[in-house]
Amino acid sequence: MIKVSETAKNKVQTLMLEDGFDPQKDFVRVGVKSGGCSGLSYDLKFDREQIDSDKVFEDNGIKIIVDTKSFLYLIGTTLDFSGGLNGSGFVFNNPNANRTCGCGESFSL
């Protein structure tokens, strides 16, 4: 399961509405792909469709879909949003990551 912090929930809802998505029925698609300075990077986008092999979760009013392969890397992750002085963006607090890069956008197991 993937958790969504209150800060991330508010930002997701705002961005979904700005992009023409409905936070009540559309999804946040979270995935993992090869790349980044630590080997794997996170992928986050909005989606209206799910496929049969997707894992579907809902936390804090946000519907999340994850492909089966990415799910193994993301179990127990919390999606957060940081608006600090060093820049703003979504942050993945992933207990499975052994190493992350300085920017926090990639990781390794």
pTM of the model: 0.81
Question: What pLDDT sits at residue 76?
Answer: 92
Question: What pLDDT sits at residue 5?
Answer: 96
Question: What pLDDT sits at residue 88?
Answer: 76
Residue 52: count other Cβ atoms within 10 Å of its Cβ. Answer: 4
Residue ranges in the chain modelled with pLDDT below 50: 103, 106-108
Got the DSSP string for 28-93? EEEEEEE-STTSEEEEEEEES---TT-EEEEETTEEEEE-HHHHHHHTT-EEEEEEETTEEEEEEE
